[in-house]
Structure 1
Amino acid sequence: MKNLIILGLSSLLICLSCQNNKNLSNEVTVAGTIENHDQTVLKILDVMGRGSWEDVVPVTENRFSINLTLERPAIKTLMYGDMRKDIFLQPGKSLEVSFDALNIENSFRYGGDLKIENAVFDSISQRLGNIDYSYLYTQPLDLTSLYMDSLKNDSKEYLKSLLNKYITSPYFEEYANASIDYNVAYLKIMLGDSQEEQYAGYYDFLNELKIEDHDLLDMPDYRMFLYFYLEMETNKRYKDLDSIQNQTADAKFYETLKTIENLKDEEVRAYSLYNTMLMQLKEFGTVDFDRHFGYFNTHNLDERYAEQMRFAYEEKKRIAPGQPAPEFTLEDVDGNQVSLSEFKGKYVYVDFWLTTCSRSARELPYFLKLYSDYKEDNIVFVSISPDKDKNTWLDFVKEKRNVGTSLWSDKFLDSEVTKNYQVLGTPTYVLIDKEGNIIDPVAAKPSSKEIRETFDLLLKSK
């Protein structure tokens, strides 16, 4: 679920009065140039309280421009293929972006009114991203805590040195400092959760933070912090359940809802309820979700979230169990075009994966064993990779996973097949029946006992 968390961001405000907001123009322009544009879709991601998650930005002759209406400073996510950049925006200001599609990492540049803010933010983000996780997860918590505190202090000193050199928006300065605080805080919660026990005082850093702050809801690091904080509090409640209660279906989910009910800030509570319901829907689909939908409709007080939930629910229903599986025709390792309809009369287990995905790599040995155990049965194994580089995919398949039917899809996660199957991350597994209808749009992974039990049950029913 964690990889599905925080898909997009909208407005951001720290210490900005309503009077000041009224004096700002609501228009902000994001424009730029993409060298070697290859028809990859450029998008601005924004999921908070909206019926649609993304704005597609038209690119004409390598140029693009879009005007956004903002009531206050905001952070949005700019997406191009597998590239994601959080960009700081402010009403009445402009941002220019340029990059070479063949070498995005080394060619990305900012310009316009918000050139300095975004260059500084990008630099801080990269600094916070240079974390040695292999070290952190092998060390005791007292050492990892010191490591994270050092990272926080170093990042703040670095930010201070940059702000001493350049004039930036006061809103940005406060945002950048808070972003560092909550970034380190949610990582500390993650590290603490990875250990069975935490030393006395480990979570004292939470006393330095405002846990519930609706003004920060549109800050990505705060929203990540809020997610992991609620998960931590839910785990405490879950551990207090008896052996019968914790075996109840969706027991942990219901404890999460109770944790959310205890939040004092109405806007934070509304967002947390929405986000938790959305993740439940995306991970487990529409089966048995009607009762959760009823709870949401009773407790939600924000029409924006109601609209978003209705949109997500209707989208998910398109690939609900019993619905026709979306047709696809893709290229296999030999250059042949292969369609889903060719497998009618057989069960189809579809694996969406990427060569660069660590979770896909962890499941690979189990996928190969599952294929080996069921390859003589009436089950077809179809692997679909939307890898950006076709040759990388081809070499990987031939060397490590040339079993079943391996297919390649272009345009990364913007491809038609990944959109039709609502693939938000990899690996994602889908199970299709002999008539071409969906059995499970979020099927069990190869390493689980559940998928073997499902296969055996299907094969017995023939």
Structure 2
Amino acid sequence: MKRLLLPLIPFLCLSCNPSDKEYKDYSKEVIITGKVLNSDFYPQEKDLTLIVPFFRDQETKYVVPIAEDGSFSFRFSPYAKLRNVQISKYADHLFVSPGDSLHVEIDFKNILNPKISGDAEKRNQEINTFAQSGRYYIEDYLIRRDLEPEAFETELQQEYQLRQERRQEFLDTYKPDEEIRQYTDKLLKIDYYRILIDYLSTRSWQNKDISRYNEQEIFAKADSLFEGEIIPSNIFKLTETISSFITCQIYKVKKEKTTFDDFVAYPTGKNIKQYLYAASISRSLVSNDTTLFSSRQKQLDSIVHIPVLSQVLHSAYQNKKDFLKNPRTVSNYMLYGNYSDMPGLKVDMDFMKPVYEIMDKYKGKVIYLDFWTTACSPCLGEMEPLKKLRKEFSPEDVVMVSICAGGPRKTWEDLVKRLDLQQPGIDCLYQTDFADDKSLIKILNRLELKGYPHYLLLNREGIIVDYGTVVRPSDPRTKQKINSLL
């Protein structure tokens, strides 16, 4: 079969070995100050969230209160020469470099048009014109994944050429500086490879032939996009697309779940490998599991050199260690939000009442919450370990609450009966018995639920001392953690 020639995209030479590259120190803080106007238009909004992109569900979030006069401020290190961040719901495209000082004015009566001034005012205006207008930048390629390769490639090349022409129009009109030229160029190329590799992944999962594509040549072409110091947020999406493709390829050979070492060993470019490695380490930290990082730290430091990866991972690891050592602050924020220093005041978080009711009902006991769904195989696989864990402790000391957060009621009822879950010391609740639909969504977001199953462990004082998948019943450390609370 004819082998596909790779797309006609002008690329730089392949990046050097990252261990030979000296990355600059981009830890100098960015300062974003601002003011909210007409705050009484949305009186329920008491704080703002700055999101620094990372892998899915692993973004760094900074939450600050809105002062009485409407003012707010953020300080953070970008760890990149140029990258985009956002103030959730109000300013989706803020572009920053180390040392920048920006001022953002948010009018709650006109939330779609924040005003940006300061060091990066011109740059923000230009990139926002490129990214937000829809005239110059189109992110999504609406190309069907069921097309045969020849038809797919034709559409892909046409769509990519259109995007390049629009970018050139933007460059000719606004004549931005070199950094913006590099940023917009990288943005388009990342989008191109996302759709291409996603297409290959889709065909591969469907057991369709992809032999006309040279996988290693594609990785070699894409690798330079992962090098460095200008970081569009879609680079993390491309990492996830490549991860899915690799998962499929390994599974087709091994017929079993992909391991961490599989990703490390898979032949990709040196820079792609840094992102894949970082994504795997980061996923474990999200679930509060610090063991993978601590056991692989030397390997991590030898492989991952890009500051936006290495610095964020080290910081996340330290934050998780600090939480596990002293969880009260994080627990209070998760449970009580704006009144984290006054847990008795819960008026602004009525949606959390179902959680408060469980805490009040079992006050003075260790509480173990299990959120699951009827269609989640890993959830069901933890039910026998849950019952075994239940037998290890007296119901007078430990209570377990099993909350089905998704699936038909009849299916839930059948599973509870078949799995014999309704036992002394295990409270089995269906989602609508626990909370209404809107409140349930807010509760799951508040408790940082990223997927199922999800567990919370609260001590006798009602403090969340651990959460995520790391405290699953089958993990022997869970028993040890509960014992330590008695």
TM normalised by structure 2 equals: 0.58
Tell me the SS of whatever aligns to 2:95: strand
Identity %: 11
* Partner Cα separation in structure 1 for residue 198 and residue 232 of structure 2: 19
Deviation at 1:186, TM superposition (A): 1.5
Q: What residue number does 2:484 align with?
A: none
Deviation at 1:264, TM superposition (A): 3.6
Q: What residue number does 1:377 align with?
A: 422
Deviation at 1:364, TM superposition (A): 3.5
Q: What residue number does 2:382 align with?
A: none
| 1:192 maps to 2:200 | yes
Q: What residue number does 1:232 align with?
A: 245
State which of 102, 123, 128 in structure 2 corresponds to 1:118.
Answer: 128
Q: What residue number does 2:359 align with?
A: 341
Change in Cα spacing, 1:63 to 1:443, as seen in structure 2 (3 Å) is: same
Q: What residue number does 1:76 align with?
A: 84
Task: State which drifts further: 153-162 or 294-303.
Answer: 294-303
Tell me the SS of whatever aligns to 1:339: helix
Counterpart residue type for residue 275 of structure 1: A
Task: State which drifts further: 155-164 or 339-348.
Answer: 339-348
Superposition map of 1:319-358 within 5 A? 331=350, 338-344=356-362, 348-350=369-371
Deviation at 1:255, TM superposition (A): 0.5
Counterpart residue type for residue 254 of structure 1: D
- CA RMSD, Structure 1 to Structure 2 (Å): 5.1
Q: What residue number does 1:273 align with?
A: 277
Counterpart residue type for residue 441 of structure 1: G
Q: Deviations over 1:59-95 (max 9, x none)?
A: 4433445566778632132132x56724222467665
Change in Cα spacing, 1:56 to 1:84, as seen in structure 2 (3 Å) is: same
Question: Do the aligned partners of 2:183 and 2:230 also contact (CA within 8 Å) in 1?
Answer: no
Deviation at 1:190, TM superposition (A): 1.9
| 1:34 maps to 2:36 | yes
Deviation at 1:433, TM superposition (A): 9.4
| 1:215 maps to 2:228 | yes
Q: What residue number does 2:455 align with?
A: 430
* Partner Cα separation in structure 2 for residue 199 and residue 165 of structure 1: 41
Tell me the SS of whatever aligns to 2:228: helix
Question: Do the aligned partners of 1:282 and 1:316 also contact (CA within 8 Å) in 2?
Answer: no
Q: Max radius of gyration: which structure?
A: 2
Question: Do the aligned partners of 2:163 and 2:188 also contact (CA within 8 Å) in 1?
Answer: yes
Q: What residue number does 2:297 align with?
A: 296
Q: Deviations over 1:251-284 (max 9, x none)?
A: 4322012227x7545xx6555423311113435x
Superposition map of 1:301-316 within 5 A? 301=302, 304=311, 307-314=314-321
State which of 407, 411, 418 in structure 2 corresponds to 1:365.
Answer: 407
Q: What residue number does 1:128 align with?
A: 138
Question: Do the aligned partners of 2:81 and 2:230 also contact (CA within 8 Å) in 1?
Answer: no
Question: Do the aligned partners of 1:31 and 1:96 also contact (CA within 8 Å) in 2?
Answer: yes
Tell me the SS of whatever aligns to 2:208: coil
Change in Cα spacing, 1:222 to 1:30, as seen in structure 2 (3 Å) is: same
Change in Cα spacing, 1:312 to 1:432, as seen in structure 2 (3 Å) is: closer
Question: Do the aligned partners of 2:82 and 2:230 also contact (CA within 8 Å) in 1?
Answer: no
TM normalised by structure 1 equals: 0.61
Runs of at least 5 residues in structure 1 that lack an aligned partner in the other structure: 1-13, 353-362, 384-400, 451-462
Q: Deviations over 1:157-187 (max 9, x none)?
A: 2222122221322210121011111122123
Q: Deviations over 1:1-27 (max 9, x none)?
A: xxxxxxxxxxxxx9xxx9xx99x9x78
Counterpart residue type for residue 279 of structure 1: R
Q: What residue number does 2:386 align with?
A: none
Question: Do the aligned partners of 1:124 and 1:159 also contact (CA within 8 Å) in 2?
Answer: no
Task: State which drifts further: 147-156 or 342-351.
Answer: 342-351
Q: What residue number does 2:432 align with?
A: 402
Deviation at 1:341, TM superposition (A): 1.8
Question: Do the aligned partners of 1:30 and 1:95 also contact (CA within 8 Å) in 2?
Answer: yes
Q: What residue number does 2:12 align with?
A: none
Question: Do the aligned partners of 1:190 and 1:228 also contact (CA within 8 Å) in 2?
Answer: yes
Question: Do the aligned partners of 1:382 and 1:405 also contact (CA within 8 Å) in 2?
Answer: no
* Partner Cα separation in structure 1 for residue 246 and residue 413 of structure 2: 40
Change in Cα spacing, 1:151 to 1:65, as seen in structure 2 (3 Å) is: farther
Change in Cα spacing, 1:74 to 1:367, as seen in structure 2 (3 Å) is: farther
* Partner Cα separation in structure 1 for residue 301 and residue 315 of structure 2: 12
Deviation at 1:145, TM superposition (A): 4.1
Change in Cα spacing, 1:371 to 1:442, as seen in structure 2 (3 Å) is: farther
Change in Cα spacing, 1:226 to 1:442, as seen in structure 2 (3 Å) is: closer
Superposition map of 1:236-251 within 5 A? 236-241=249-254, 246=256, 251=258
